[in-house]
Amino acid sequence: MTTIPNYCGVKLTQEYYVEDCRNNDVGKNIPDCFVSKMAYNVDRTRKTISVNISDVQNRDCYVRLCHQRFVCEDVGPVTLIQGKDAMKSASLQYTQLLPCLCIEVWPAILDARRMQLCPFKNGNTVLEKDMKYIPHASAL
């Protein structure tokens, strides 16, 4: 905050920092901060990605696969993981592993903050196993 106009060369400057979701008290009590931790496993034979969710504090969560463009567009159905379930996991089908394929998780509340993980974005060696080049068609 700065005084305007500046009288007699006297200037008052003050800064104020607002706590965000990294603060433990804020993170536990503000719905926008209820983002969980996730781990995933890719099963290439079944073409599935198993997603395990933790730190959901007994809240329901949604999980989905999406293609990251300007926004993350649905690839398949949105799966509900119930907070009361002992195993908080979902198995999501994919058709093709692409660099834009992402996993998105968010709490089942209105306008929730979404956590997005794009595991294949920079992993060209991971994707090479799934790519097949067709020389006559010049296509993948």
pLDDT of residue 130: 53
Residue type, 110: L
Burial annotation 76-90 (CB, 10 A radius, 16+ → b, else e): eeebebeeeeeebbb
pLDDT of residue 125: 47
Domain spans in the chain, listed from the N-terminal domain onward: 37-117
pLDDT by residue for the chain (140 residues), tens digit each? 555 666 677 766 777 777 666 777 766 666 666 656 778 999 989 999 999 887 767 788 899 999 998 888 988 899 998 877 767 889 999 988 888 999 998 888 887 778 888 888 876 545 555 555 555 554 44
Assign 3-state DSSP to the chain and report helix, strand, coil percentages, each to 5. Answer: 10, 35, 55
Tokens (6 digits) for 128 = 């090479």
**0.95 exceeded by pTM:** no
Residue type, 121: K
pLDDT of residue 122: 77
**Which residue carries 């992993």 as its tokens?**
123
